[in-house]
Amino acid sequence: MKILLTGGAGFIGSHFVKQAIQSGHEIVNVDKLTYAGNLDNLEEYAQASQHHFYKEDIVNRENVRAIFEKEQPDVVVHMAAESHVDRSIESGDAFLRTNVTGTYHLLTIAHHYWQSLPKEKRLSFRFVHLSTDEVLGTLQPNEDKFCETTPYRPNSPYAASKASSDLFVRAYHHTYGLPIIIVNTTNNYGPFQFPEKLIPVVILNALEQKSIPVYGDGKQIRDWLFVEDHIEALLKLITYGCIGETYCIGGENEWTNLDVVNEICTLLDRIKPLAQGSYKDLIAFVQDRPGHDRRYAVNANKIHQELGWFARHSMQEGLQKTVQWYVDNAERLNTLFDRHRLGLKNNHEKNF
């Protein structure tokens, strides 16, 4: 299939590009290249015939419409989003613009494009929207996990913007018949993640022997999903998912943030030991984030039963791969992230 992917230079998006191409698909990658989007993540596919990159903001409706008309995708996978909760607390403007307005524009374009397709292509077309479990609020320690029928209760500006985008996607299906699938996924981790999320922050700070910040008491619980497992689920959903349905995707790895930090430090103590002491000595508890949700966890039985998908990586296995990758690439990553933060132009763009 030819898949139009938004946000394909980001962490999850770049993994999707690689695994989709390896599975025989062709990718039309539309990405604004904000601070968290980096085409160096896709260096090996920069000149690949199966990868067509457009530097474009999904809010620019006419430009995105032109890409649809030129590339004629079979499927849309919408990942482009502002996603860092701390940034949304500082200012929600970018989250409203990209996550809500951008999604709305993309839906209008996809709807008109879908209507113009011949019948056979209309029947196979899908609009897959990637969302988060954070739209569902927070759980108490012994409360049942989130599932597809859990009411929305977003608690951060980020979560509120994603909840709004989900509802627009749902409305376009029920009002216009657009064949959509919504995915609510748990915390992803793995290689190439931008160093503002917990796991890469911990690893890179530890390697530089800087303080490792832990919010509050560190006992917030998250369900962790190795990014490669997530992409395998998405590729199954594109072909076999039911139109108009929502799917929760989780790794069944509920860990507290503090346990994650301690496990990373234990791995680093073994892989790259310090001359003296342990990386755990760098842990520093800091003031908690405002409105910090206590626990996220999803019940993934629906995708287990309907599609036979299960996460293949335990948390220990996924963290081992992730930590080793960051250790092996630490020097290169510092250069890449510094260069990217400076906004230097990447030469892999395809002009339209």
Give catalytic residue positions: 133-134, 158
Q: Are 44 and 70 in contact (CB under 8 A)?
A: no
β-pair partners for 339? none
| CA dist., res. 321 & res. 19, Å (int) | 17
What does the block give as tokens for 150?
């859990």
Write out the H or E segment, with its range, that includes residue 212.
strand 212-215
| CA dist., res. 249 & res. 300, Å (int) | 5
**Which residues contact residue 305 at a Cβ distance below 8 angstroms, ignoring those fewer than 6 apart?**
none
What does the block give as tokens for 186?
């748990």
Where does 38-152 show beta strands of DSSP type E? 51-55, 75-78, 126-132
Any idea what DSSP says for residue 127?
E
Sign of CA dihedral 239, 98, 205, 43: positive
Q: List b or e across 303-329, with b for residues whose CB sees 16 or more CB atoms inside 10 angstroms.
A: beeebebebebebeebbbbbbebbeee
| CA dist., res. 319 & res. 214, Å (int) | 18
